[in-house]
Amino acid sequence: MKAVYVHVPFCRDICAYCDFTRCRYHAGLADQWLIAVKRELQEKLAQVSVETVYIGGGTPSALNSRQLEQLLKLLAPYTTQVQEYTVEANVESLDEDKMKLLKRYGVNRISLGVQTLQPVLLSIIGRRHTREEVVERIRQLHQYGIHNISIDLIYGLPQQTMEMWQDDLQDIVQHFQISHISLYALTIEEHSQFGRDGVENIDADVETDMYLYAVSYLKKHGFIQYEISNFAKPNAASLHNQMYWNYEDFCGIGCGASGKSGHIRYDNTRNLHTYLQKGSCPDIIELSRQDEMFEMLMMALRMKKGMSLSLFRERFAADFETIYSAPLQKNIANGMLQVKDDHVRTTEEGMLLLHDVLVDFLSEETL
């Protein structure tokens, strides 16, 4: 097992767009949750050292300093060989004491939930930080020796204009000392605040234009697009997320976490009280050979480099170009895919229409 994901379900505030497994922070519940995490780690990992750790949520920085240190201590036996150790954080709950703790326990990458710099949009989505606070957190992180900093941005927000989006990107590229940007189109989930309020997506063409502008602008300013939604300075692409896209096994810890091991995928219970009382209680999905072939392709085509044909052959003792000949040739002819340097990858147009490309492969019968 090379990768571990830990899901922290607590948030100080609930964002209007969020439908992840989360609840308002409560110190007593967080203490109980840490006990359950310790138990699950012992059950699943034993003394394995892993290459990447990603603590996400929820909001890991919502934990108080004592609880954050306890979580980092629980993970310490498994991180002796860690190459990339990421923690998600919100600007408003990441203070200097927590930064010192993160550095002390080997965390070397921070993912900051910025989303937007526009005050009106921050109010709409329920975020409390300001642009100036974002800049200050980034400065402090560098001061404490954590230099690999990623920020999340959302496009397609209610009332967000193209001008707002352009202003944010230009400001960030010109003034923020970061090495990675993740972009997310707003998805309105049924059980989010936006979903309950009946908020509708902005015009699809405007959303597409926002994405295309970001791709072009970031490329011109030194950010390499290595995956549909992710852009990095040289040597700053996320190692952990590439584990997912390369279809490697990974261990999921915590309520709401998912994992993959061998020929199964599992989803831990999303109910915090169930997790505290009974443990992970996972829903287990057994994967057929056909499932795994398709999922490997689905994940790998998100990356610019695409899927390794030799790795596919090694994993399945089968030739991809033979098994998927019809959909592959169709999408090559349509200008959506190309085969080059032992990889099948999308073209620029194919990346924009990846869902349609994958439908062709999903319907293909394989042995």
Number of H helices, E strands in the chain: 16, 17
Which candidate, 82, 64, 59, 9, places its Cα nearest to that of 252?
A: 9
Average pLDDT over residues 168-180: 96
Q: Does residue 281 surpass a pLDDT of 90?
A: yes
**283 — phi, psi (to 5°)?**
-85, 125
Rounded (10°) angle between helices 309-316 and 289-300 = 160
Q: Does residue 287 surpass a pLDDT of 60?
A: yes
Strands 148-155 and 180-185: parallel
* Domains by residue range for the chain, with CATH: 1-242 (3.80.30.20), 306-366 (no CATH)
Average pLDDT over residues 261-266: 95
Torsion of CA 107, 268, 279, 110, to 10 degrees: 10
Q: Mean pLDDT of all residues in the chain?
A: 92
Residue 3 banded pLDDT, cuts 50, 70, 90: very high
Counting residues of the chain whose pLDDT is more than 90, the rounded percentage is: 83
For the stretch 37-72, pLDDT in tens is 999 999 998 767 799 999 998 899 999 999 999 999
Instruction: Report whether 168 contacts 119 (CB < 8 A).
Output: no
Rounded distance, CA 79 to CA 109, Å?
14
Average pLDDT over residues 200-217: 90
What per-residue confidence (pLDDT) applies to 128?
A: 83
Q: Does residue 13 surpass a pLDDT of 80?
A: no
What per-residue confidence (pLDDT) applies to 15?
A: 59
Residue 189 banded pLDDT, cuts 50, 70, 90: low
What per-residue confidence (pLDDT) applies to 367?
A: 43
Tokens 């994967």, residue?
287
Burial of 191 (0-12, 13-18, 19+ CB in 10 A): exposed
For the stretch 111-140, pLDDT in tens is 999 999 999 999 988 888 899 999 999 999
Residue 20 banded pLDDT, cuts 50, 70, 90: low
Average pLDDT over residues 26-46: 94
Instruction: Report whether 263 contacts 253 (CB < 8 A).
Output: no
Instruction: Report whether 179 contacts 236 (CB < 8 A).
Output: yes
